[in-house]
């Protein structure tokens, strides 16, 4: 095992990149005893995920990890044994120079964005020589030939305990200030970027036969929610129309987000981190992928849909594909929600089976195994010399 690890994160979309980096840092420290420094260039965004953090401090310890402010004027530090460059952020030149001066250079990994595309398997673990250093590309993914997904050792056991314990569930609803929903209420979480399809979705819920409770964590979608109900955002925390009730939640700390997903029947998520957590929740979910200017996100979305729905019956597969594409703006609305809701029984079974399948391939374990693999390779090269 590496004794030390430095993770570098350049915050781009507020919570996605730092969300993944923070989870990885905590897991390496807590479960494997690695001394981790997380270098982050935006402490304000980090503090939303970790309320314990103090944005005024350049260095501080939170949850077993040392958080360091990544300034342009980078300090002189001793590089860690394992260096993780999150999502292609540009490493400080002085740190790279220090890495090159080590007798045994660190294992340098570029942790890439998550994708289900076929080419990922062929690029996973590929080296990129930058003499005297070598950077390795490490791809999270959904198959055994990729790096897998972040999964804490006890997460699925905690999920199952929550789902089987009425008292835990009641405590969750009390903690967020909402009465326990009546039997038969469809509970939905909605974590979203701005979305032109929101009104269509709300209309379907408001006019449907089933009561719907939609929980919306603070975020970019709130102005659209208020506009739909023709009210200002202000201090409004609850809206209703027909059979739809929408409750706005304060921004959820990272450790508490899983319980929100577990407590709901269906989860709308965005970006990478919440998408992965929704899969561990074992509930049907709808992913809003981060749009890219060259439209390559459509290929990524379809690649995941093909993999995720491959074991579903045709009607269920078409309902998932239709709702996801409508929510992501690639096709006009026309009854997608109703078709999706009609398949919920099969989708529930699929979601749990999918989580079990993914749990056999986890990112932190794979990263550490790769670190050892590089160590053995270097030792062999030294022996050969």
347-360: per-residue pLDDT in tens?
Answer: 999 999 999 999 99
- What pLDDT was estimated at residue 234? 61
CA quadruple 362, 365, 369, 370: dihedral positive or negative?
positive
Q: List the end-to-end C-alpha distance of the chain, in Å, as a whole number.
A: 25
pLDDT category of residue 232 using cuts at 50, 70 and 90:
low
Span 168-222, pLDDT tens digits: 999 999 999 999 999 999 999 999 999 999 999 999 999 999 999 999 998 889 9
Catalytic residue among 6, 17, 112, 336: 17
Give the CATH class of 155-358. Answer: alpha beta
Helical axes 166-175 vs 155-163, angle rounded to 10°: 100
Instruction: Report phi then psi at 345, rounded to 5.
Output: -60, -50
Is residue 17 part of the annotated active site? The answer reads: yes
pLDDT digits (tens, 9 = 90+) for 284-334: 999 998 887 777 888 999 999 999 999 999 999 999 999 999 999 877 778
Q: Does residue 258 contact residue 281 with C-beta atoms inside 8 Å?
A: yes
Q: What pLDDT is attached to residue 334?
A: 80
At residue 338, the pLDDT reads 96
Which DSSP category does 183 fall into? T
Domain ranges of the chain: 4-149, 155-358
Question: Where residue 241 falls among pLDDT bands split at 50, 70, 90?
Answer: very high
Average pLDDT over residues 336-348: 97
Q: Are 140 and 363 in contact (CB under 8 A)?
A: yes
| 21 token code pair | 């980096």
pLDDT tens readout for residues 42-64? 999 899 889 899 999 999 999 99
* Mean pLDDT score across all residues of the chain: 93
What are the φ and ψ backbone dihedral angles of 49, each rounded to 5 degrees?
A: -80, -30
14 pLDDT band, cuts 50/70/90, is low
Confidence of residue 233 (pLDDT cuts 50, 70, 90): low
In contact, 186 and 209? CB cutoff 8 Å: no
Q: Tell me if 193 sits within 8 A of 183, measured CB to CB.
A: no
pLDDT in tens, 108-156: 999 999 999 999 999 999 999 999 999 999 999 999 999 999 999 999 9
Please give the helix or strand (H or E) that residue 75 lies within, else none.
Answer: none
Beta strands in the chain (DSSP E): 4-9, 35-40, 59-62, 65-69, 82-86, 107-111, 127-130, 133-138, 186-190, 212-217, 238-241, 244-249, 266-270, 285-288
Q: What is the pLDDT of residues 94-108, one digit of tens each?
A: 999 999 999 999 999
Average pLDDT estimate for 349-372: 97
Q: pLDDT value at position 170?
A: 97
Q: What is the mean pLDDT of residues 355-379?
A: 95
Give me Rg for the CA atoms of the chain.
Answer: 22
Of 85, 112, 258, 272, which residue is the catalytic one? 272
* Max Cα distance, the chain (Å): 76
Per DSSP, the residues of 104-144 read: SPPEEEEEPPP---THHHHHTT-EEEETTEEEEEE---SST
- Annotation marks residue 258 as catalytic: no
């Amino acid at each position: 095992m590496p004794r030390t690890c430095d993770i570098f994160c350049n915050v781009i979309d507020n919570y996605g990149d730092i969300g993944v980096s923070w989870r990885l840092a905590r897991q390496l420290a807590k479960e494997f005893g690695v001394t981790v420094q997380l270098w982050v260039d935006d402490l304000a965004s980090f503090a939303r995920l970790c309320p314990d953090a103090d944005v005024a401090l350049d260095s501080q310890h939170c949850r077993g990890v040392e958080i360091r402010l990544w300034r342009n004027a980078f300090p002189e530090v001793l590089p860690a044994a394992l260096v993780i460059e999150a999502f292609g952020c540009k490493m400080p030149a002085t740190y790279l120079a220090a890495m090159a001066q080590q007798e045994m250079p660190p294992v340098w990994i570029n942790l890439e964005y998550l994708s289900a595309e076929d080419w990922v398997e062929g690029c996973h673990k590929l080296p990129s020589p930058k003499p005297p250093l070598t950077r390795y590309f490490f791809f999270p993914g959904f198959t055994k030939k990729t790096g897998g997904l972040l999964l804490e050792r006890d997460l699925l056991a905690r999920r199952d305990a929550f789902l089987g314990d009425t008292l835990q569930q009641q405590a969750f609803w009390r903690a967020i200030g909402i009465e326990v929903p009546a039997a038969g209420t469809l509970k939905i979480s909605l974590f979203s970027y701005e979305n032109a399809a929101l009104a269509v979705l709300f209309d379907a819920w408001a006019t449907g036969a089933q009561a719907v409770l939609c929980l919306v964590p603070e975020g970019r979608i709130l102005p659209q929610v208020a506009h739909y109900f023709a009210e200002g955002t202000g201090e409004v925390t609850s809206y209703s129309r027909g059979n739809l009730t929408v409750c706005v939640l304060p921004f959820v700390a990272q450790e508490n987000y899983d319980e929100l997903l577990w407590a709901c029947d269906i989860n709308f998520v965005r970006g990478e981190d919440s998408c992965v957590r929704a899969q561990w929740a074992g509930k049907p979910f709808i992913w809003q992928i981060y749009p890219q200017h060259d439209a390559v996100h459509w290929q990524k979305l379809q690649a995941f849909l093909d993999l995720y729905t491959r074991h579903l019956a045709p009607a269920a597969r078409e309902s998932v594909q239709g709702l996801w594409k409508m929510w992501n703006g690639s096709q006009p609305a026309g009854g997608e929600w109703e078709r999706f809701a009609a398949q919920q029984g099969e989708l529930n079974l699929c979601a749990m089976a999918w989580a079990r399948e993914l749990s056999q391939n986890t990112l932190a374990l794979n990263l550490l195994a790769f670190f050892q693999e590089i160590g053995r390779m270097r030792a062999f090269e030294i022996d050969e010399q």
